């Protein structure tokens, strides 16, 4: 905003001010007087309104962050089904375990105590054999990094804290994107499951590259912002992507879509199917934003997915 100062003159110790452009006189008891043009007033009003809108949007985002709680950034490759070449059940387990890292990427058992192998097995609730296979696979694929007797998760896959804009742009150039894994949602979902169901749960994470970043709907164009232009992926197409036999689609629906769990005093599900007709294979698929979400349209996702 540009403000113009009047020229001050004095007559018998009574100050008055002259507009150098119009010659208009103005008297004031203050020492400094400023004026604005009509254009400047309109610009100032618009700036004020823009500031209010940003403050309102910031308030909404703050409330949503409070609702869904803390999160971990998961970095994934948009051009492939999963960035992790792991056994399916172990994808679920590492997503869950990632919610225990601190800002340095260290796996923490408590706020002050780092996690050891025994703690890890206890949290994951795995048998000796299952945990041994999981642990060796994490080491083999360099997902675990051991330093000073502490376990760190690969920084290129999981991160807690802010990510710079330059880092985000660098990821995009590599066809990689980030999404928030919500700590409470992922842990609640995992703790309600059994080790036998971890393979089925992994489909929720394997499908991530096909989840629209704003509307959390499984689709063929995940970067599309216009809801009307999103090319929704049916349950039948979902089966093709995860290499699941379509003949067993009702079993998949029962195992992955029907189970309910309590989150923030509300009964919900990890995935919701929205039907347009009686054909199950045509159902649209929404991922619950309390599990993971990259965008900022929580309300619309909740309404569209009927969560």
User: If pLDDT is split at 50, 70 and 90, which confidence band does 1 have?
Assistant: very low
How much is the average pLDDT of 40-46? Answer: 73
> Quick one: which of 80, 84, 75, 73 has its CA closest to 172?
75
**Distance separating alpha carbons of residues 160 and 171, to the nearest angstrom:** 16
Q: Report the pLDDT value the prediction gives residue 63, as an integer from 0 to 100.
A: 63
The region of weakest confidence among 40-49, 98-107, 157-166 is: 40-49
Q: Which residues of 177-200 are buried (b: 16+ CB within 10 A; e: fewer)?
A: bbbbbbbbbbbbbbeebeeebbeb
**What pTM was computed for the model?**
0.76
**Distance separating alpha carbons of residues 67 and 54, to the nearest angstrom:** 20
As a residue count, the chain comes to 307
pLDDT digits (tens, 9 = 90+) for 255-277: 888 778 888 888 889 998 887 66
Structure-block tokens of residue 31: 């020492």
Q: Report the pLDDT value the prediction gives residue 236, as an integer from 0 to 100.
A: 84
Query: Tokens 């929704």 identify what position?
Result: 232
pLDDT digits (tens, 9 = 90+) for 215-231: 999 999 999 999 989 99
Structure-block tokens of residue 29: 């008891």
**Distance separating alpha carbons of residues 207 and 23, to the nearest angstrom:** 71
Top pLDDT among 121 and 241 is at 121
Say whether pLDDT at 23 is over 80. Answer: no
pLDDT digits (tens, 9 = 90+) for 164-173: 888 888 888 8
**Distance separating alpha carbons of residues 249 and 183, to the nearest angstrom:** 29
Contact 106, 150 (CB under 8 A): yes
User: If pLDDT is split at 50, 70 and 90, which confidence band does 3 have?
Assistant: very low
Q: Report the pLDDT value the prediction gives residue 4, as an integer from 0 to 100.
A: 46
Say whether pLDDT at 58 is over 60. Answer: no
Q: Report the pLDDT value the prediction gives residue 304, as an integer from 0 to 100.
A: 83
- CA 145-146-152 angle, to 5 degrees, is 55
pLDDT digits (tens, 9 = 90+) for 105-161: 999 999 999 999 999 999 999 999 999 999 999 999 999 999 999 999 999 999 999
CB-based burial label for 133 (10 Å; 0-12, 13-18, 19+): middle
Q: Report the pLDDT value the prediction gives residue 91, as an integer from 0 to 100.
A: 94
**Distance separating alpha carbons of residues 110 and 233, to the nearest angstrom:** 40
Contact 272, 256 (CB under 8 A): no
CB-based burial label for 170 (10 Å; 0-12, 13-18, 19+): exposed
User: CB atoms < 10 A from the CB of 152, how many?
Assistant: 19
User: Percentage of residues in the chain with pLDDT exceeding 70?
Assistant: 77
Cβ-proximal residues to 154 (8 Å cutoff; 6+ apart), any chain: 142, 143, 144, 145
**Distance separating alpha carbons of residues 204 and 202, to the nearest angstrom:** 5
Q: What are phi and psi of 78, to 5 degrees?
A: -70, -20
The partner residues of 287 in beta bridges, in order of sequence, read 271
The rounded mean pLDDT for the chain is 82
User: CB atoms < 10 A from the CB of 288, how many?
Assistant: 23
Say whether pLDDT at 22 is over 70. Answer: no
């Amino acid at each position: 905003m540009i403000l113009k100062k009047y020229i001050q003159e004095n007559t018998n110790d009574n100050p008055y001010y002259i507009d150098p452009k119009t010659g208009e006189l103005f008297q004031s008891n203050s020492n400094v007087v400023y004026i604005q043009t009509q254009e400047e007033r309109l610009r100032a009003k618009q700036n004020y309104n823009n500031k209010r809108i940003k403050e309102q949007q910031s308030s909404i985002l703050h409330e949503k962050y409070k609702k869904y709680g803390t999160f971990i950034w998961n970095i994934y490759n948009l051009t492939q089904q999963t960035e992790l070449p792991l056994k399916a059940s172990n994808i679920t387990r590492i997503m869950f375990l990632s919610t225990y890292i601190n800002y340095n990427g260290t796996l923490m058992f408590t706020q002050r105590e780092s996690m050891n192998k025994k703690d890890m097995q206890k949290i994951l609730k795995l048998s000796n054999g299952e945990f041994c296979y999981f642990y060796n696979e994490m080491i083999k694929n360099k997902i675990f990094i051991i330093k000073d007797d502490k376990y760190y998760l690969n920084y290129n896959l999981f991160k807690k804290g802010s990510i710079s804009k330059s880092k985000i742009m660098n990821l995009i150039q590599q066809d990689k994107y980030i999404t928030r894994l919500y700590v409470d949602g992922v842990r609640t979902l995992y703790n309600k499951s059994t080790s036998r169901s971890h393979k089925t749960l992994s489909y929720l994470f394997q499908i991530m590259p096909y989840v629209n970043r704003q509307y959390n709907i499984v689709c063929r164009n995940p970067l599309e912002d216009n809801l009307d232009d999103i090319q929704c992926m049916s349950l039948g197409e979902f089966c093709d992507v995860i290499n699941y036999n379509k003949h067993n689609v009702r079993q998949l629906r029962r195992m992955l879509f029907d189970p309910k769990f309590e989150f923030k005093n509300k009964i919900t599900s990890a995935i919701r199917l929205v039907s347009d007709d009686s054909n199950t294979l045509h159902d649209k698929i929404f991922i619950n934003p309390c599990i993971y979400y990259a965008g900022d349209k929580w309300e619309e996702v909740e309404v569209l997915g009927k969560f």
